[in-house]
Amino acid sequence: MSDMQSMDRENKKRQLRQNIVQMPDAGSDEPMDDERLARYKKKKRIIAVAAACFLAALGFTGYRYMNEYEYTSYSVQWERSMRYTDTSNADKETQAPETSAAADEGTDGTDETAAAESAAGTDTGNSDSAATSAAEVSKTVSDSSFIRFAVFGDNMIKYTKDGASYIDASGKTIWTQSYEMKTPIININGDYAVIADQQGNEMYICNKEGCTGTAKTQLPITKAAVSARGVAAAVVEDSTASYIFYFKKDGESLGINIKMLLSGDGYPVDIALSPDGKQIVMSIMYMKNGALKNKVAFYDFSEIGKNVNNRFIAAFEEEFDDKMVGRVRYLNDQTVCAFSDKGLTFISVKNVIPDTNVIYVPVEEEIRSICYSDKYAAVIVDSTSGSPYRLDVYNTDGKKVTSIDFDYAYTGALIDGDRLILYNEESCRVYNLDGHEKFNGQFDYSVSLVRAGKNRTNSLITAGSEVMKEINLR
């Protein structure tokens, strides 16, 4: 063997030994010592914390941006004519160019969001062979001046003196119901609505699929309410008493009624049914020692109420002795809110018997309007801070969620999810629950109601006597 070959072998051995020594640094399974392992773990923790902080900062920045971002224009997603409503959904769908903006609107229920109401309690292409059917359909959207909209289901119910129609969030007419009423009033609770002829003798019970029944009374109807399961109640009266009659969702009488003598029991100012239909709450005016008083009373129609006189289970008199309650509502199955001229009173109904420890939120200013949803109750009052009005929103525990001062000639207000919507005939303003203004828009058409659209973050549905549109905010 030559010397050269021996040298080559020695060099290769040396290189191999060097590689073997370096292998642990290259990621071999040879264990690290304690100091190196501690440094390695610390480095991993620092990287993990830094990554988490970065992601949190990124998420917070995105949330702040979306929460405070104000939309300044809109485009039309779809458009439906309101001159007539046809279940064939033959209305023209259009895409409109982007429009500049500046405006607001609202309505009522227990999944029902309430339209602005005064605290005093104001309720607010067929062929010739199908001529008869077409005539009936055309009645549902009358050319008369009485045209109203109410938030219902995924969108709205339109009701007039001649009939009602449910229009879904895509602008499609799901059903129409013809009738003839002099003064239609509506109450909504979850997936059910009742439309009654005030001072008439008929009311229609409906859900998102259509009319489930018609109830009739002998005495004139003054008020009507419905539960989230379709059970309905009607308040009727004669010269000496008021009566509350109960009906199934098909309109058949349940054989349950309450009689209230005007000279003794008092007069029901407003009523509301619990979501399950087992209880009813009333605001009642009555005379005591020659003075007009107010109380809030509860009646039960379950087996429990069957065993007590006139199904009466509770009354709150001292709490409302110096107040006038114009509106009572089950915000959800656990909370009733009584809206008075002096503030809001939250009553827990988690148990069958209402909790006697009520939560009272006093309001010193004059209450202009109220609105509510299943999670919140709000009042609009005269502001003392320079702006004409202030919107105060409370949760069901009576804690203030937000307060917004505004200078805007609104005609309606609505809480729809996490959106606060003010509106008039030609514009609307939208706020979030943090009080940030999200949209201030002007419309080139008349509107009667504005609510959140399909994409609740950046779309609205506007409805008026002429047209309904879904607009995407930009």
3-class DSSP string for 320-370: HCCCCEEEEEECCCCEEEEEECCEEEEEECCCCCCCCCCEEEECCCCEEEE
Task: Please write the tens of the pLDDT for every residue from 386-405.
Answer: 899 999 999 999 999 999 99
Mean pLDDT of the chain, nearest integer? 84
pLDDT of residue 68: 67
User: How many helices and strands (H and E) does the chain possess?
Assistant: 4, 33
Tokens of 300: 């039960």
Burial (CB < 10 A; 0-12, 13-18, 19+), residue 36, is: exposed
CB 270 within 8 A of CB 327: yes
Residues 6+ apart with CB under 8 A from 126: 86, 133, 134, 137
How confident is the model over 141-189, as pLDDT tens digits? 444 589 999 999 889 999 999 999 999 998 899 999 999 999 999 999 9
CA dist 115 and 358 (Å) reads: 25
CA within 13 Å, CB half, 429: 16
d(CA 228, CA 245): 17
> In this predicted model, what pLDDT tens digit does every residue of 229-284 receive, in sequence order?
999 999 999 999 999 999 999 999 999 889 999 998 999 999 999 999 999 999 99
| Residue listed under structure tokens 């021996």 | 6
What token pair was written down for 378? 């709000």
Query: For residues 8, 10, 11 and 12, what is the CA-based torsion angle, rounded to 10 degrees?
Result: 90
User: What mean pLDDT is predicted for residues 295-303?
Assistant: 93
CB within 8 A of 306, min separation 6: which ones? none
User: What are the phi and psi torsion angles at 378 (to 5°)?
Assistant: -140, 155
Q: Measured on CA atoms in the order 299, 301, 305, 311, is the torsion positive or negative?
A: positive
Round to whole Å and give the CA distance between 470 and 151. Answer: 14
How many other CB atoms sit within 10 Å of the CB of residue 75? 13
Contact 181, 200 (CB under 8 A): yes
pLDDT attached to residue 265: 93
Burial (CB count <10 Å: 0-12, 13-18, 19+), residue 96: middle
- pLDDT above 50 (res 2): yes
β partners of residue 405: 390
The percent of residues in the chain predicted with pLDDT above 70, rounded, is 77
Q: What is the Cα–Cα distance from 474 to 463, expressed in whole angstroms? A: 20
In tens, the pLDDT along 44-97 reads 788 888 777 777 777 666 655 555 689 999 999 999 998 754 444 434 333 333
Q: Which residues contact 179 (CB under 8 A, 6 or more apart)?
A: 162, 163, 164, 195, 197, 202, 204
For position 4, what pLDDT does the model report? Answer: 62
Cα(212)–Cα(231) distance, integer angstroms: 11
Tens digits of residue pLDDT in 90-130 = 343 333 333 333 333 333 333 344 444 533 333 433 333 33
Q: What does residue 172 show for φ and ψ, rounded to 5 degrees?
A: -90, 135
| Distance between CA atoms of residues 473 and 438, nearest Å | 9
| pLDDT per residue as tens digits for the range 135-148 | 333 333 444 589 99
- CA distances 170 to 95, 173, 415, 471, Å, are 13, 9, 21, 11
